């Protein structure tokens, strides 16, 4: 994991009082532990106003020492005039490898021994890199994430042929399964915000960006939807400064587009459900990472006349992947059911689908289809939804992904307190008819 190196002096005047010059060359400003047994190396140089006997490095209460025995004529030449330089020893460099793994070192103190006393000059801290990139007009974007969003945008991340082939097989298998099980399906990729606000993003878009590579690979495929242009047309309403996800309004646009692609009527939805939006200042998943947690305006669906939680008949409360939410509507516009294998962007979509369909089952799986759930629900419509930054990793082969196994694995790794909390949140009066899903816990 990359870390940023920061230095805090022991006191403001310490360095100037003790040293004519110094520099820590290793570790650098950013480090990355590649090997499991990669140790901390501290190297550099120092020239004191008084003779320096040794370098001292303190980590977790233990002090390590190193001689200044490396010849650094370049340093002496830079610090002193020709006349002065001849009077100084070139041996001002140091290097020490400390048997502490990089990943375990949060900080270390640096000092130098003058005569018989250690004079501590300050502390170096390793800090995780900031996960937020600030763009034009203070719009926030994801940075330093596990999906390498910046590299995807700039075209530095290649789409491996092996993953392309896995995607091709996966999509082909879904088409076959949909024919056998008689359901209509679509896959919708939620564009990352930087593609919608390219002019606000402090990096240049490459034609070889990851979503473009993916869509070229599936060019002309009617079931795969990447609604970038649709969202750009409504971008100020569809996304907001403080979060990575689309707003309720952005989800509403995608909801209507999905209905049209399923050849379902859209026109009477707004009037029948009395859809209204409002603006609320909120803290998003990006703004919460910054000091002060500044609130930003976002467009959201007004609750009136519907309290959307009233539709929910089951929620297993598993965080992120493995969460299952089931909604039922006694007066739907469509008497069919829809099964959504979605990502975090699907939660906004559900607000609209639950007003339209008789039954909506949301499975948080980022477009990974579960055949056990398909066979149980026997849906008329299936929506696969994922965030576009996830597509650089191909899904498992169809039939191998199991939400039941995923939930079991997650619960095994939960603390006893986390398990008790989840179980306490289960509403058994609502889930009595959903034994298939409650049995997964």
**pLDDT at residue 231, as a whole number:** 98
Residue 414 domain-assigned (yes or no): no
Looking at the fold, whether 120 and 147 belong to one and the same domain comes out as no
Residue 420 domain-assigned (yes or no): no
**pLDDT at residue 214, as a whole number:** 96
**pLDDT at residue 163, as a whole number:** 92
Q: What CA–CA distance (Å, rounded) separates 322 from 402?
A: 9
Residue 411 domain-assigned (yes or no): no
Looking at the fold, whether 79 and 146 belong to one and the same domain comes out as no
Residue 410 domain-assigned (yes or no): no
CATH of the domain at 25: 2.60.40
Residue 433 domain-assigned (yes or no): no
Contacts of 391 (CB under 8 A, 6+ apart): 167, 189, 210, 211, 214
Looking at the fold, whether 309 and 265 belong to one and the same domain comes out as yes
Looking at the fold, whether 121 and 136 belong to one and the same domain comes out as no
Query: Last residue of a domain, which of 106, 127, 148?
Result: 127
Q: Put residue 266 in one of left, alpha, beta given phi > 0 → left and psi -120 to 50 → alpha.
A: alpha
Q: Mean pLDDT in each 10-residue stretch from start to end of the chain (441 residues)?
A: 68 75 85 60 93 92 93 91 67 91 80 91 79 90 91 93 94 97 98 97 94 95 97 97 97 98 91 90 92 90 74 94 96 97 97 96 97 98 97 91 95 88 76 86 89
Instruction: Evaluate the omega torsion of the peptide bond into residue 27 and state whether it is cis, within 30 degrees of 0.
Output: yes
Looking at the fold, whether 261 and 378 belong to one and the same domain comes out as yes
Looking at the fold, whether 245 and 391 belong to one and the same domain comes out as yes
- Side-chain half-sphere CA neighbours of 334 within 13 A: 22
**pLDDT at residue 146, as a whole number:** 87
Query: Last residue of a domain, which of 127, 151, 186?
Result: 127
Looking at the fold, whether 371 and 258 belong to one and the same domain comes out as yes
Residue 422 domain-assigned (yes or no): no
Residue 44 domain-assigned (yes or no): yes
Contacts of 233 (CB under 8 A, 6+ apart): none
**pLDDT at residue 31, as a whole number:** 63
- Residue 156: Cβ within 10 Å count: 14
Residue 24 domain-assigned (yes or no): yes
What domain count does the chain have? 2
Question: Range of 323's domain?
Answer: 132-403
For residue 188, give both structure tokens. Answer: 């919708």
**pLDDT at residue 36, as a whole number:** 45
Looking at the fold, whether 249 and 362 belong to one and the same domain comes out as yes
342 forms beta bridges with: 364
Q: What is the DSSP string of 307-362?
A: -GGGGEEEE----STT-EEEEE-SS-SEEEEEEEEE-TTHHHHHHHHHHHEEEEEE
Answer whether 0.85 is exceeded by the pTM. no
Looking at the fold, whether 237 and 119 belong to one and the same domain comes out as no
Query: Last residue of a domain, which of 95, 127, 159?
Result: 127
Looking at the fold, whether 170 and 108 belong to one and the same domain comes out as no
Find, among 225, 5, 22, the residue nearest to 121 by Cα.
Answer: 22
For residue 62, give both structure tokens. Answer: 């233990």
Looking at the fold, whether 251 and 231 belong to one and the same domain comes out as yes
Looking at the fold, whether 123 and 136 belong to one and the same domain comes out as no
**pLDDT at residue 3, as a whole number:** 65
């Amino acid at each position: 994991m990359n870390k940023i190196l920061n230095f805090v002096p022991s006191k403001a005047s310490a360095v100037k009082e003790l040293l004519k010059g110094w520099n820590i060359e290793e570790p650098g400003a950013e480090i990355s532990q590649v090997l499991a047994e990669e140790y901390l190396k501290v190297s550099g140089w120092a020239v004191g106003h008084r003779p320096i006997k040794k370098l001292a490095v303190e980590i977790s209460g233990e002090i390590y020492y190193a001689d200044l025995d490396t010849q650094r004529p370049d340093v002496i030449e830079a610090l002193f005039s020709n006349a002065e330089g001849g009077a100084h020893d070139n041996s001002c460099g140091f290097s020490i490898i400390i048997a502490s793994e990089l990943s375990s070192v949060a900080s270390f103190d640096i000092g130098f021994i003058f005569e018989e006393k250690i004079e501590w000059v300050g502390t170096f801290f390793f800090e995780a890199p900031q996960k937020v990139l600030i763009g034009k007009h203070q719009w926030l974007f994801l940075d330093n994430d596990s999906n390498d969003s910046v590299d995807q945008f700039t075209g530095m991340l290649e789409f491996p042929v092996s993953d392309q082939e896995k995607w091709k097989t996966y999509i082909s298998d879904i088409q076959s399964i949909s024919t056998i099980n008689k359901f209509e399906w679509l896959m919708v990729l939620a564009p990352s915000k930087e593609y919608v606000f390219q002019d606000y993003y402090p990096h240049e878009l490459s034609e070889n960006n990851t979503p473009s590579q993916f869509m070229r690979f599936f060019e002309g495929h009617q079931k795969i939807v990447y609604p970038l242009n649709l969202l750009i047309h409504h971008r100020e309403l569809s996304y907001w400064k403080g979060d990575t996800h689309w707003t309720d309004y952005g989800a509403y646009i995608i909801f209507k587009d999905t209905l049209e692609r399923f050849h379902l009527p859209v026109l009477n939805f707004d009037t029948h459900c009395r859809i209204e939006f409002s603006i609320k200042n909120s803290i998003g998943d990006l703004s919460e990472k910054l000091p002060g947690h500044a609130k930003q305006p976002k467009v959201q669906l007004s609750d009136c006349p519907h309290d959307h939680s009233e539709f929910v008949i089951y929620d297993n409360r598993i965080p992120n992947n493995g969460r299952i939410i089931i909604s039922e509507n006694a007066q739907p516009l469509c008497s069919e059911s829809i099964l959504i294998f979605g990502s975090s962007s699907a939660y906004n979509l559900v607000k609209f689908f639950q007003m339209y369909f008789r039954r909506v089952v949301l499975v948080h799986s980022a477009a990974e289809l579960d055949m056990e759930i398909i066979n149980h629900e026997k849906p008329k419509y299936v929506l696969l939804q994922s965030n576009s930054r996830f597509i650089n990793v191909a899904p498992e082969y169809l039939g191998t992904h199991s939400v039941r196994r995923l939930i079991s694995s997650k619960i095994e790794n939960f603390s006893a307190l986390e398990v008790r909390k989840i179980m306490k949140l289960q509403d058994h009066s609502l889930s009595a008819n959903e034994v298939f899903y409650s049995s997964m816990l």
